[in-house]
Amino acid sequence: MSPNSLLRTGSARNRSTGRRAQRTRGQSLVEFALVIPILLFLTLIALDFGRVYLGYINLQNMARIAANFAANNPTAWGATPDAEVQLRYKNQILQDAAAINCQLPKDGAGKTVVPAPTFTDRDGNGFAIDLGDTAEVQIGCSFGVITPGVANVVGGSVEVAAASRFPVASSMTAVGTGGGGPGSPPNAAFSGNTVITPNGIFGIVPFVVDFRDTSGGNPTKWTWTFPDDGTTSTAQDPGLHTFTTAGAFNVTMIAENQWGADAPVSMLVTVVDTSTVNFHADKTNITPGETVTFTDDSSPGGTAVVWTFGAGEGSSTAASPTHTYNTPGTYTVALKVTYPSPTGDVTTTKIGYINVAVGTCLVPSLIGVHFNNAEGIYQGAPYNFTGVVIRGTGAPNGNFIITAQDRTGGTMIPCNTDITVNRP
């Protein structure tokens, strides 16, 4: 084959290889373009079902509050219904449903249907609304779907249901003497951000809490006390209260009716901010080898702590740890305190908090000492230098007798200083 033929063949091969590379790159771009919509679709599906799951969690709390309300006000659904209490029950469910974007079922006329509580005779005495029985509330909601593909499959919404059951807290008829005695005071109870007493709640400044009365026994008077700012309220549902300072505050409520007042009921509201977490050390200026004790001053305290003692110095989960610093330098110390949800972790960091200074040592006289023995004397007791003995320029090799040193014996210098010796 001639040289020209070889050149033509090689050129053709190069063109063919280039075309294949172009086709491969083009194919990859097409595949990538096809994958992007799928990834976006899957992401939207995950977001949709995440919204539904969160709605289900909120719906469970909503059912618990409604069942607790019914259990504390059973006579409102008794032989002589109490329209006012039933209206409060209904409005509470409607407000909760609006807060979580829950679409309650509707009747044929398009009116929202609020599920009524169901009372069950658990003690077998023939009465379904007295002590020993239960009140149950079942609530169903529709949560809208935003992903077009999912909406086509499930019909644009997902039906979620939750139920809760509470023991009846008061009986239909009050206990009296003879021919009908006096009734009973109410059973005081309230909720804060859907959490029902006596449970506590946590938050971070500014912490907004929605307080609502859930008392049984038809109270007619309420007295709320908020110790964070010293205010009080006589409203049945004082609504939103904002805690602007950190601390642990015991919010109390007294419920009364015509037969008297129940004992105060309370809820501990714990509020934190970044200044809540604090600590101190028993000493901050030390020399190598000293031990420091750290104390957590956080108020209120959390459920867990993590200390970091500075670069290369490790960490601890002890409440009041001790740590030994062996290397000179300045160290930044941090304390992370974990609080219940939704507060989470709060960290305070103190930059350059621990200063480990180099100590001073007394310089020995090495005159007349053999070179091989000098470093042992220099680093040993009582001198304790961390520096080394250096053979000076022009000094003889071997184990010579020292006749000169560059540090004056009997003076105090940093313990990490080196000393140079010689024999002129």
Q: For 159-188, what is the HEC assignment?
A: EEEEEEEEECCCCCCCCCCCCCCCCCCCEC
Tell me if 305 sits within 8 A of 375, measured CB to CB.
Answer: no
User: Residue 275: what pLDDT?
Assistant: 75
- Same-domain check for residues 64 and 117: yes
* Residue 352 and residue 364 in one domain: no
**Under a CB-based contact definition with an 8 Å cutoff, are residues 329 and 293 in contact?**
no
Are 46 and 131 members of one domain? Answer: yes
19 occurs within a structural domain: no
Residue 9 lies in a domain: no
Q: How many CB atoms lie within 10 A of CB 280?
A: 12
The β-bridge partners of 360 are 414
Q: Are residues 237 and 99 in the same domain?
A: no
Token code pair at residue 304: 């867990």
Do residue 107 and residue 209 come from a single domain? no
- Residue numbers of the domain that contains 369: 360-422
Domain tally, the chain = 4
Tell me whether residue 214 is in a domain: yes
What is each CA distance from 162 to 65, 74, 155, 340, in whole angstroms?
A: 12, 21, 21, 25
Look-up of token digits 């023991």: 167
DSSP state, residue 127: -
pLDDT on residue 195: 87
What pLDDT digit, counting tens, does each position of 317-331 carry?
999 999 999 988 999
Write out the E strands in 115-246. Answer: 118-120, 134-144, 157-167, 190-192, 195-196, 201-204, 207-213, 221-226, 231-233, 239-243
Q: Residue 173's pLDDT is what?
A: 38
Choose among 294, 361, 351, 280: nearest CA to 325: 294
Please indicate, yes or no, whether residues 317 and 212 belong to a single structural domain of this protein. no
Q: Above 80 in pLDDT, residue 280?
A: yes
Domain termination site, one of 333, 356, 379: 356
Q: Measuring CA to CA, which residue among 287, 288, 296, 329 is closest to residue 312?
A: 329
pLDDT of res. 170 = 56
Are residue 30 and residue 169 in the same domain, yes or no? yes
- Mark whether 33 and 101 lie in a shared domain: yes
Per-residue confidence (pLDDT) for residue 130, from 0 to 100: 65
| Higher per-residue pLDDT: 149 or 186 | 186
Say yes or no: 231 and 282 in one domain.
no
Confidence check: pLDDT of 418 > 50? yes
Burial 283-301 (b: 16+ CB within 10 A, else e): ebebebeeebebebebeeb
